[in-house]
Amino acid sequence: MMSEFLPTLEFAKQLDEKDTLSRFREEFYLKPGTIYMDGNSLGLLSKRAEKTLLETLEDWKQYGIDGWTQGKHPWFYMSEELGKKLAPLVGASEEEVIVTGSTTVNLHQLVSTFYKPEGKRTKILADELNFPSDIYALQSQLRLHGLDPDTHLIRVKSRDGRYLDEEDLIQAMTDEVALVVLPTILYRSGQILDMKRLTEAAHKKGIIIGFDACHSAGSIPHYFSEWDVDFAFWCNYKHLNGGPGAVGALFVNRKHFNQLPGMTGWFGSNKEKQFDMEHTFTPANSAGAFQIGTPHVLSLAPLIGSLDMFHEAGIERIREKSLKLTQYLMDLIETELAGMGFHIGSPREEERRGGHVSLEHEEAARICKSLKENGVIPDFRAPNIIRLAPVALYTSYQEVWEVVQILKTIMTEKQYEKFKNEREVVA
Ligand SMILES: *Cc1c(COP(=O)(O)O)cnc(C)c1O
């Protein structure tokens, strides 16, 4: 519980008054009459992201082809410039981060670079709770090496279906494992894995380790360089508010800059050499080498404005508020929704809890539909999870309070019973 917690509207308003990040809220397009709790799936549009997108369109209008090197945000350098802006959010140096590809494509790129089966070291270690796309990518990478994913992809089991135990992951790092790929934060329960400890353990056994940071980029600080993580990849449309289909990002530890990327293309070139048009590839001496083709400029542009806000707010302050919001939400759920069949499936300990709360209920699908009818946007993860993400830059404590009051009404009036308990096509 928060110290001095009270379940009253008055208390929520006091928390908002003391909130040092509250000014960012007015920079976002919030729909009147709705409470957005899905920023961990798709972050909202901000005025600054809109501005940098429109400026980029204007550059296209004004400069045509010359927009590559002229205008407000020259396209030729955009991916690198954005990498520099992202680097502090993941604890990396500027050259170690590049904005390119998408989560799944970047995972393919990194596995094709760092997975080198040799002798009896041929297996890839993942976990059974990982996001399906990551698993599909790992399976296909094994097949490309002529290996059977059923025997070569180890998926470490969860003891309770919600969390992973670092001890179990470390136990599974045997001398048959060539590569470990794990999430930073589990997408359902919101558990943070101890990346420092896992990286140390993997390296002790001579294994390369990489992380999927989709749910942690923009929600918690990272120290990838300091922890000596080998690589990481993530999307920029969740907590980082880069827009639907925003270009993703990757981190490569500088000690690996000498590695030739598994999949090479001309945008991975040393920028001075790229337009020499030689048939010998000269890679950039940075994470930029892992780019493949022409950047999706219009899906990069909103990130420029969005990341400025992260810099002004500071990831430490964002994390501090995010923890307070999720704690407050859990406190309210426990006091206001007791005995209504809910279970909080997220860690209580701050160092293990990410940016969202997983609320389990056997009627979750129908309750989500009721929430939407009442103007609350949650997200549903089959079979029984309501994910609620109060976002530090735009969610108020009063909104968190209102969401729980709405949930209480839905349950006491059994409003959910008029819906079918099944998911929509996009959930
Ligand atoms: C959102 C998410 C993805 C999505 O991958 P895309 O290639 O951007 O579609 C992958 N992995 C995790 C863990 C995610 O949360």
Tell which of 255, 278, 312 closes a domain. Answer: 312
The ligand 1 atom nearest the CA atom of 104: 7
The amino acid that residue 319 corresponds to is R
Q: What share of the chain is helix, strand, coil (3-state, %, to 5)?
A: 45, 15, 40
What is the percent of the chain where pLDDT is above 70? 100
Please check whether residue 425 lies inside any domain of the structure: no
Please check whether residue 41 lies inside any domain of the structure: no
Q: Same domain for 121 and 215?
A: yes
CA–centroid distance, residue 104 to ligand 1 (Å): 7
Q: Same domain for 320 and 224?
A: no
Q: What is the DSSP letter of 62?
A: H
Per-residue pLDDT, 426: 79
Please check whether residue 423 lies inside any domain of the structure: no
pTM of structure: 0.97
Residues 229-265: tens digit of each pLDDT: 999 999 999 999 999 999 999 999 999 999 999 999 9
Q: What is the mean pLDDT of residues 350-371?
A: 96
What is the token pair recorded at 215? 């749910």
Per-residue pLDDT, 2: 82
What is the percent of the chain where pLDDT is above 90? 97
Please check whether residue 253 lies inside any domain of the structure: yes
Q: Same domain for 117 and 200?
A: yes
306 vs 302: CA distance, rounded Å? 6
Answer whether 237 contacts ligand 1 (Cβ < 6 A): no
195 vs 177: CA distance, rounded Å? 18
Q: Same domain for 147 and 264?
A: yes
Please check whether residue 424 lies inside any domain of the structure: no
CA–centroid distance, residue 213 to ligand 1 (Å): 9
Per-residue pLDDT, 424: 78
Q: Same domain for 103 and 179?
A: yes
Answer whether 214 contacts ligand 1 (Cβ < 6 A): yes
Tell which of 260, 279, 312 closes a domain. Answer: 312
CATH number at residue 391: 3.90.1150.10
Q: What is the mean pLDDT of residues 356-376?
A: 96
For a ligand 1 pocket test, name from 108, 133, 215, 385 the mutation site with the most ligand atoms within 8 angstroms of its C-beta. 133
Query: 171 burial class (0-12, 13-18, 19+ CB within 10 angstroms)?
Result: exposed
Q: Which domain holds residue 19?
A: 9-30+315-418
Q: Same domain for 215 and 341?
A: no
Q: Same domain for 162 and 220?
A: yes
In what helix (H) or strand (E) does residue 167 lie, and over which residues does it extend? helix 166-171
Per-residue pLDDT, 128: 98
Q: Same domain for 260 and 335?
A: no
pLDDT category at 1 given cuts 50, 70, 90 is confident
The pair phi, psi for residue 133, each rounded to 5°, is: -60, -40
Q: Same domain for 66 and 176?
A: yes
The amino acid that residue 234 corresponds to is W
In what helix (H) or strand (E) does residue 410 lie, and over which residues does it extend? helix 397-412
Mean pLDDT over the full length of the chain: 97
Please check whether residue 1 lies inside any domain of the structure: no
Please check whether residue 365 lies inside any domain of the structure: yes
Answer whether 102 contacts ligand 1 (Cβ < 6 A): yes
Q: Above 80 in pLDDT, residue 195? A: yes
Answer whether 242 contacts ligand 1 (Cβ < 6 A): no
CATH number at residue 210: 3.40.640.10
Please check whether residue 3 lies inside any domain of the structure: no
Q: Above 90 in pLDDT, residue 298? A: yes
Per-residue pLDDT, 3: 77
The pair phi, psi for residue 23, each rounded to 5°, is: -65, -20
Q: Above 80 in pLDDT, residue 215? A: yes
Per-residue pLDDT, 421: 78
Q: What is the mean pLDDT of residues 362-377?
A: 96
Q: Above 90 in pLDDT, residue 360? A: yes
Q: Same domain for 338 and 392?
A: yes
The pair phi, psi for residue 54, each rounded to 5°, is: -65, -35
Per-residue pLDDT, 422: 76
CA–centroid distance, residue 132 to ligand 1 (Å): 9
Q: Above 80 in pLDDT, residue 347? A: yes
Q: Same domain for 263 and 204?
A: yes
pLDDT category at 330 given cuts 50, 70, 90 is very high
φ/ψ bin of 398: left (φ > 0), alpha (ψ from -120 to 50), beta (otherwise): alpha
pLDDT category at 418 given cuts 50, 70, 90 is very high
Q: Same domain for 273 and 375?
A: no
Per-residue pLDDT, 117: 97
Q: How many domains are contained in the chain?
A: 2
Answer whether 42 contacts ligand 1 (Cβ < 6 A): no
Tell which of 272, 297, 312 closes a domain. Answer: 312
The amino acid that residue 215 corresponds to is H
